[in-house]
């Protein structure tokens, strides 16, 4: 026969930063007490354990993967339309330094701008050489300067513009240089192809520092903080290495019900590679708490119970629990340090308790 569960406070988790609260009375319920006198507990499949105060460290183990540091990654795009005429032997996996040439483009827009600049420069020189045109030549200075500034909008180096003016020969295009030192991860520039500003030509990343991204599931979220220590080990690595959590996502992934987190790690001699699989272990200090073995707690779905041994009776006692670790459960309310609780075969004790409560013998001694 089932208990009348009534109305009771539900169990709730507490933050690891919150210290253990002293036991406080919980609402009473019509539970049946189970007499244990005269019958060895071992024969019933029972054992007992004391409620103890212990320091707890919660272990969280999850999986992740190595990825590039987005703050050290550059995407190279042209700011003009044109055709790829040279890629300077760049390929995926090659290492470049900042300023190294990546790709040369032929651009009708740049060619037209160079021809316009040369025409203005020639006009100004002609006026300067005439006896009466010096004033008019000075009036062309702002126009010539505006023509020069246009090239900076296309990332055409100032040295190239000066060379065009000096030689009088247009270059017909631009050579794009690497914006950073790193490794080419993506190459979209193919000789002869037409490109425009939306075309991704290269992705270059400095892989001397990488991210390891992993997921934290909802029941572990309250215990994870930025700055906590983590240990990671990638496939192929002989040893685990330490790092600190550097980021926690502000949102939960609705598909996986998990929180995205990451650690930032130095690339140990170049042995870490983006895309590698990794395991991540977190050791979370929960502080000192009252604990009981996890098999001492009976989870009914509405409340949590333990059976406290008093005067030969197993007394059902409602408790408030929060997650622990290592086979132990933290007790926030309901029992005191030193109490003895039944462990193992709780369902047998609970069934007997229900029968006695139903038969009116719940308070028999």
Q: What is the pLDDT of residues 322-336, one digit of tens each?
A: 877 778 888 888 888
Q: What is the DSSP letter of 208?
A: T
For position 88, what pLDDT does the model report?
93
Between the ranges 27-41, 125-139, 164-178, where is the mean pLDDT highest?
Answer: 164-178
Whether the pLDDT of residue 254 is over 60: the answer is yes
Average pLDDT over residues 181-205: 96
Three-state DSSP state, 13: coil
Q: How would residue 307 be classed by pLDDT, with cut points 50, 70 and 90?
A: confident
Average pLDDT over residues 204-221: 93
Q: Who has greater pLDDT, 27 or 324?
A: 324
Average pLDDT over residues 30-37: 56
Average pLDDT over residues 289-303: 85
For position 271, what pLDDT does the model report?
87
Contacts of 8 (CB under 8 A, 6+ apart): 26, 27, 29, 302, 303, 318
Q: How would residue 11 be classed by pLDDT, with cut points 50, 70 and 90?
A: very low
Q: How would residue 350 be classed by pLDDT, with cut points 50, 70 and 90?
A: low
| Structure token digits, residue 253 | 């992934």
Residue pair 332/20 in contact by the 8 Å Cβ criterion: yes
Backbone φ and ψ for 120, nearest 5 degrees, come out as: -65, -45
Q: Tell me how far apart the alpha carbons of residues 293 and 217 are, in angstroms, rounded to a whole number.
A: 23
Residue pair 207/182 in contact by the 8 Å Cβ criterion: yes
Domain ranges of the chain: 70-104+177-206, 108-171, 210-286
- From the number of C-beta atoms within 10 Å of its C-beta (0-12, 13-18, 19+), residue 197 rates as exposed
Number of H helices, E strands in the chain: 5, 21
CATH dotted code for 70-104+177-206: 2.40.50.100
Q: Give the domain 210-286 fold.
A: Elongation Factor Tu (Ef-tu); domain 3 (2.40.30)
For position 365, what pLDDT does the model report?
44
Q: How far is CA 288 from the centre of its chain?
A: 29
Torsion of CA 85, 91, 92, 93, to 10 degrees: -150
Average the pLDDT over each of 86-90, 97-101, 118-122 and give the range with the smallest value. 118-122
For position 172, what pLDDT does the model report?
86
Q: How would residue 296 be classed by pLDDT, with cut points 50, 70 and 90?
A: confident
For position 20, what pLDDT does the model report?
46
For position 236, what pLDDT does the model report?
79
Average the pLDDT over each of 129-133, 236-240, 258-262, 270-274 and give the range with the smallest value. 129-133
Whether the pLDDT of residue 362 is over 50: the answer is no
Q: Who has greater pLDDT, 332 or 40?
A: 332
- From the number of C-beta atoms within 10 Å of its C-beta (0-12, 13-18, 19+), residue 37 rates as exposed
Whether the pLDDT of residue 6 is over 50: the answer is no
Average pLDDT over residues 54-74: 91
Q: What is the pLDDT of residues 216-232, one digit of tens each?
A: 998 888 889 999 999 99
Q: Who has greater pLDDT, 352 or 49?
A: 49
N- to C-terminal Cα separation, the chain: 21
Whether the pLDDT of residue 16 is over 50: the answer is no
Q: Who has greater pLDDT, 322 or 26?
A: 322
For position 8, what pLDDT does the model report?
39
Q: Who has greater pLDDT, 280 or 15?
A: 280
pTM for this entry: 0.67
């Amino acid at each position: 026969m089932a208990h009348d569960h009534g109305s009771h406070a539900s169990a709730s988790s507490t933050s690891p930063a919150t210290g253990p609260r002293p036991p406080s009375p919980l609402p009473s319920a019509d539970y049946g007490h189970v007499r244990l006198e005269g019958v060895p507990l071992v024969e019933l499949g029972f054992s007992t354990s004391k409620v103890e105060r212990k320091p707890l460290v919660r272990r969280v183990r999850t999986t992740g993967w190595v990825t590039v540091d987005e703050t050290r990654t550059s995407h190279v795009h042209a700011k003009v339309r044109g055709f790829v005429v040279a890629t300077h032997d760049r390929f995926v996996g090659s290492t470049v330094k900042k300023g190294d040439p990546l790709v040369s483009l032929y651009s009708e827009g740049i060619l037209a701008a160079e021809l316009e600049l040369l025409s203005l420069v020639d006009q100004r020189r002609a006026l300067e050489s005439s006896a009466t045109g010096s004033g008019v030549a000075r009036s062309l200075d702002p126009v010539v300067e505006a023509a020069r500034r246009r090239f900076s909008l296309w990332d055409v180096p100032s040295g190239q513009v000066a060379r065009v003016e000096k030689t009088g020969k247009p270059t017909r295009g631009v050579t794009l240089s690497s914006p950073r030192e790193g490794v080419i991860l993506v190459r979209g520039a193919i000789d002869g192809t037409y490109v425009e500003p939306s075309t991704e030509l290269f992705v270059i990343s400095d892989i001397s520092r990488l991210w390891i991204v992993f997921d934290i599931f909802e029941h572990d979220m309250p215990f994870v903080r930025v700055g906590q220590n983590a240990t990671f080990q990638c496939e192929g690595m002989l040893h685990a290495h330490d790092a600190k959590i550097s980021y926690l996502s502000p949102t939960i992934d609705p598909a996986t019900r998990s929180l995205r987190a990451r650690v930032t790690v130095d690339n140990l001699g170049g042995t870490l590679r983006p895309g590698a699989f990794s395991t991540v272990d977190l050791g979370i200090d929960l502080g000192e708490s009252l604990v009981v073995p996890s098999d001492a707690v009976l989870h009914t779905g509405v409340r949590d119970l333990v059976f406290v041994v008093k005067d030969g009776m197993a007394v059902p006692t409602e408790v408030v629990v929060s997650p622990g670790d290592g086979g132990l459960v933290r007790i926030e309310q309901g029992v005191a340090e030193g109490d003895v609780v039944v462990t193992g075969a709780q369902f047998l004790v609970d069934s007997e308790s229900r029968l006695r409560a139903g038969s009116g013998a719940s308070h028999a001694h």
